[in-house]
Amino acid sequence: MAKGIFIALEGGEATGKTTTAKVVKERLEALGYEVVVTREPGGIPSAEAIRENIMNFPVDARTELLLYLSARREHLVSKVIPALEAGKIVITDRFYISSLVYQGYARGIGIDTVRELNDFVCNGVYPDLNIIIDIPVEVSMERKQGVDDINRLDLEGYEFHKKVEEAYRMIHAEGKDNTLMLDGTKDMDTMIDEVFSVVKGKIDRA
C-alpha cells in the first residue's frame, strides 16, 4: 500500500472495542499486514499522562475537551501519522467522534463547536472508516457491573450514557462522518468476525 489505512472503533462503554482491535490485529498480521493498535486518549506516553488526568480527576467540561484534544494531537503526530506514512494499518480504540459524542452532545458543549476544534487538531487526518459498535445503554451498564477497571466516565449516570447512545446513532444517521454501525449485542466472536470482514474489505479496496 502506498498509504496506510486508518480505522477507528467507536461506541459507548463495554462494547468490546479493545478485545476486537486485538484479535483483528492478530488476524491481519497472520495475513502479512503491519498493524498498529492504539487508543485514545493515550497511545503514547505524553497522551497517557493526559489520560490519567482525564480519568481520575473531576474537571470542567471544557477543560475535559481541551485535554482530549491535546492528547489527540500528540497521538496523531507522534504515532498515527508516521504509521500511516509507513503504509501500516492503524486501528484506534476511539478517535474524534468520541469527542463529538461525549463532550459535544452528552456534556452539552455543542457538536458543531467540537467538530470545529477537531478540524484544527486533526488538520485533515481522519479515519478512512469509523466503525460504531452500537449497544443499548442498559446493556452497557449491565456489562460494567463487577468490572474492576472503572474510570470517572464509567461512573456517570444513566442519563449521561443514554445521551452517548443517542449521539452515536444521530451522528451515524446524519452521514457526515464516514461511519458504519454494527450491532454490538451479538456474541463477541460474531462481532469480531464482522469487524474483521469490514476492515479487510476496506484494505482490499484501497
Stretch 111-121: mean pLDDT, rounded?
98
The answer to whether 12 is annotated as binding is yes
The answer to whether 175 is annotated as binding is no
Task: Please give the residue range of the domain that contains residue 88.
Answer: 5-205
Q: What pLDDT does residue 25 have? A: 98
The answer to whether 176 is annotated as binding is no
Q: What secondary structure, in 3-state letters, does 163-181 show?
A: HHHHHHHHHHHHCCCCEEE
Stretch 123-134: mean pLDDT, rounded?
97
The pTM assigned to this predicted structure is 0.94
Domain count, the chain: 1
Q: What is the CATH classification number for the domain harbouring 179? A: 3.40.50.300
| Res. 75: pLDDT tops 80 | yes
Rounded Cα gap, residues 119 and 39, in angstroms: 19
The answer to whether 15 is annotated as binding is yes
Tell me how many degrees the CA angle 150-151-155 measures, rounded to the nearest 5: 85
Stretch 116-136: mean pLDDT, rounded?
97
The kind and range of the H/E element at 11 are: strand 5-11
Q: Which of 49-63, 120-134, 152-166 is most confident?
A: 120-134
Segment 9-28, tens digit of pLDDT? 999 988 999 999 999 999 99
The answer to whether 38 is annotated as binding is no
